[in-house]
Structure 1
Amino acid sequence: MKKFILLLASAMTFAQNAKPMPTILFTNKDKNLNGGCYRIPSLITAQDGTLIAVADQRLNGCGDLKYNDDINIVARRSTDGGKTWSDIESIVDFPKGESASDASMVLNKKTGDIILFYNYMDLKNEKDIFKQHYVISHDNGKTWSKSYDITRQIAPENSYKDFKFITSGRATQAPDGTIYQTLVDLQKKGVFIFYSKNNGVSWNLLTGSVQPADETNIVALPNGNILLNARVAGLGSRKIYEFAPNGKLLRDEVVRALPDPACNGAILDYQVGKQNLLFFSNANDSKKRKNMTIKYSTDNGNTWSQGKVLNPGFSAYSSLAQLDNNDLGILYEVNDYGDIAFSYLPIDWVLSQSVK
């Protein structure tokens, strides 16, 4: 604790005031889109330190999964902490008529593998039937496996035709190795937690429907509990739920310190030695998608810092990652969905904010 207090003091004393500058990784000016767009960021650091930035490549239009029959999952990789990036690479690319969307990733710290979840629809043969898949990389994001369909394992009963989807961004891994992620079912007006205890070989549901909730970020706490940070329509703030590993609900509260315009955000568990923080990014406004802000918590999400603003203008979805050198990276939507940008966030800059 003493070391952590010194870290905070150092950050408050020496942090530079200069706002981190964005680098555009995906732009709708890309002529190959044919009038489409890039959306839905997901960011992760591989075991070897490689940064992997992932997005939907929506061709011939910008509609969501059920409205666009040609959405692919693509990536750019950086091996130098976000200074330079590879060209755009394909991860999931089905023939026209089938679409993949809403990527979320998790690093399995036990194996070094990266699991990438996404939602799938065959608009030619099964329009409006949402399915859930994943692919896996064994080489830090250079190559990816075939797709695995896990819909029957994680979907709640009587949900075959429901509007259901895995939350984009990132999943989480508990200290015991269990991997957790969230599945939203809008017909049931809630979110479900699903998990794997065998590195993704099989999956199970942990909870019944948690309500109200839409896209829901998930993070495993150091004590093994699971924290949900949920988007809720019309609320104007985030909602937090905390569960024990056995699925027992421990906390259910509206967090007015986290204003939100009903937009997906990002939560990250940050660990350096025995220090544990939570970071949260979102469009920090109760009504409009604007004001991309990052906050932190030192007490498992009970209280939050004032916030550092990255972009006061239009901002939407975001994804956070802890970099190899323990600074942060953020991938976020800007310019009226025209671009997806990456910003390198020095940890001292992020921590140089007051705590409410």
Structure 2
Amino acid sequence: MADVTVPFRAGHEGYASHRIPAIVATANGTLLAFCEGRVRSASDHGHIDIVLKRSTDGGRTWGPLQVVASNGTGLAGNPAPVALNTGRVLLVHVRAAASATEDLIRQGNVKDADGRRVWVRHSDDDGVTWSEPAEITGSVKRTGWRWYATGPGHALQLGDGRVVVPANHSLAPTGTDLGTEARYNGGHCLLSEDLGETWSIGYVDDNTDGYINANETTAAELPDGTVYFNTRNDSPSPGNRADAHSEDGGRTLRTPFRPQAGLAGPVCEGSLLQLRDPDVLLFSGPALPDARALMTVRASADGGTTWRPVHTVDGLPAAYSDLVRIDASTVGILYETGDFGAYERIVHRRLPVTRLT
């Protein structure tokens, strides 16, 4: 049986590029692999759909490609799915006009209607069909925030039922040097107490001193109920990761994000997964310090304080990833990779839990 499969490949099935993977396992055990299908190029803006493939055999084979979120010829992206304990699957994502580049949005040169707006939809049949999308921008995006991104990667349902979706935003730069506006990134999360019917903003960490530049963030619920957040850090503090803990389900942070120098790697998204039995926290991401390559899974036995490598996939280029628990003995990793560049294909790999613990 295939432990390594390729659900998405650049230049296939109507898309020039497939990027930004996310994966969840439904209550029935179906794997749902999402990504952005970029129609004309690998660019982060333009005509982009969120596409999905389903697997009912633990990722050994995949069904046909489905478009699960679109915005005409504009952008629907940054998939942040979460499989609820009710059987429902939520998909939180953003929309924007095709011409709304990140630079234009950060500089304030895109009107609100064309900028990054937030939407949610759901499936009650393991991803076969999906509800109409509902916009939640007014509940989760503050006035004055410019850039906005959900996830990417899977979101969480906590043990008490609350849904937590990591996200990030940017503030308007102060001064005249627009070349430094990236320092005004901030992290936050979306919260829902009623299984996705209504939404609010949880913690907000703007870090306007420029020391930490919280960007794409991933989260996991630790065995004691603490929510652990780990973020891509684009500022020149030690290392390219930062982390924080929340003791109230994502409403606030115990302390603001601080550097996590124990996770060496390039500036890139990463993924978290808390295993139970054994209780081990996993992190996936490229491990080459100065380039997106060397996809590696690392493990922590102390809630993210210290980390050790437990499995290196291979030495190839690699970038974004997402982790999923397939069954008691298997973890899945969905990740971007290629022979000569990190964005040639999105691969799913089955990993024995014993190899990771």
| TM score, norm. by length of structure 2 | 0.85
The answer to whether structure 1 residue 129 and structure 2 residue 105 are counterparts is: no
Q: 2:350 aligns with which of 332, 344, 350?
A: 344
Once the two structures are TM-superposed, the CA of residue 271 in structure 1 deviates from its matched residue by: 2.1
In structure 1, the residue matched to 2:160 is 176
**Aligned length in residues:** 321
Once the two structures are TM-superposed, the CA of residue 347 in structure 1 deviates from its matched residue by: 1.0
C-alpha distance in structure 1 between counterparts of 2:230 and 2:26, whole Å: 24
Give secondary structure in 2 for the equivalent of 1:290. Answer: coil
Indicate conservation of the 8 Å contact 1:175/1:222, yes or no.
no
Identical columns (%): 26
In structure 1, the residue matched to 2:106 is none
Kindly report which structure 2 residues correspond to 1:1-356, keeping only aligned pairs within 5 A, or say none. Answer: 22-30=4-12, 32-33=14-15, 36-64=16-44, 67-68=45-46, 70-96=47-73, 98-109=74-85, 111-123=86-98, 128-159=114-145, 162-187=146-171, 188-211=184-207, 212=212, 213-233=214-234, 234-235=236-237, 236-245=239-248, 246-250=251-255, 252-272=257-277, 275-335=278-338, 336=341, 337-351=343-357
Residues 42/31 of structure 1: CA separation in 2 closer, same or farther (3 Å cut): closer
C-alpha distance in structure 2 between counterparts of 1:137 and 1:95, whole Å: 21
C-alpha distance in structure 2 between counterparts of 1:81 and 1:21, whole Å: 9
Once the two structures are TM-superposed, the CA of residue 126 in structure 1 deviates from its matched residue by: 6.1
Once the two structures are TM-superposed, the CA of residue 295 in structure 1 deviates from its matched residue by: 1.2
The code of the aligned residue for 2:258 comes to E
Deviates more, 1:226-235 or 1:46-55: 226-235
C-alpha distance in structure 2 between counterparts of 1:22 and 1:197, whole Å: 37
After superposition, what is the alpha-carbon deviation per residue over 1:230-289, rounded to whole angstroms, capped at 9, x for unaligned?
A: 1011443311111221514247432222112110010012224xx422111001122110
Deviates more, 1:24-33 or 1:77-86: 24-33
C-alpha distance in structure 1 between counterparts of 2:138 and 2:222, whole Å: 28
C-alpha distance in structure 1 between counterparts of 2:324 and 2:348, whole Å: 11
* Aligned-CA RMSD value: 1.9
Once the two structures are TM-superposed, the CA of residue 210 in structure 1 deviates from its matched residue by: 4.4
Give secondary structure in 2 for the equivalent of 1:247. Answer: coil
Indicate conservation of the 8 Å contact 2:20/2:36, yes or no.
yes
Give secondary structure in 2 for the equivalent of 1:323. Answer: strand
C-alpha distance in structure 2 between counterparts of 1:306 and 1:330, whole Å: 15
Deviates more, 1:181-190 or 1:48-57: 181-190
The code of the aligned residue for 1:200 comes to G
Residues 326/133 of structure 1: CA separation in 2 closer, same or farther (3 Å cut): farther
Indicate conservation of the 8 Å contact 1:174/1:221, yes or no.
no
After superposition, what is the alpha-carbon deviation per residue over 1:156-207, rounded to whole angstroms, capped at 9, x for unaligned?
A: 2322xx0111121011121111111122112342111221111111111122
Once the two structures are TM-superposed, the CA of residue 214 in structure 1 deviates from its matched residue by: 0.7
Once the two structures are TM-superposed, the CA of residue 115 in structure 1 deviates from its matched residue by: 0.8
C-alpha distance in structure 1 between counterparts of 2:350 and 2:299, whole Å: 16
After superposition, what is the alpha-carbon deviation per residue over 1:104-133, rounded to whole angstroms, capped at 9, x for unaligned?
A: 111112x12111111101347967511011
Indicate conservation of the 8 Å contact 1:196/1:203, yes or no.
yes
C-alpha distance in structure 2 between counterparts of 1:210 and 1:277, whole Å: 30
C-alpha distance in structure 1 between counterparts of 2:129 and 2:353, whole Å: 30
In structure 2, the residue matched to 1:354 is none
Indicate conservation of the 8 Å contact 1:153/1:204, yes or no.
yes
C-alpha distance in structure 2 between counterparts of 1:48 and 1:177, whole Å: 18
Indicate conservation of the 8 Å contact 1:78/1:86, yes or no.
yes
Structure 1, unmatched stretches of 5+, are 1-19, 352-356
In structure 2, the residue matched to 1:5 is none
C-alpha distance in structure 2 between counterparts of 1:32 and 1:201, whole Å: 33
Indicate conservation of the 8 Å contact 1:174/1:222, yes or no.
no
C-alpha distance in structure 2 between counterparts of 1:192 and 1:297, whole Å: 24
| TM score, norm. by length of structure 1 | 0.85
C-alpha distance in structure 1 between counterparts of 2:93 and 2:155, whole Å: 11
C-alpha distance in structure 1 between counterparts of 2:3 and 2:294, whole Å: 15
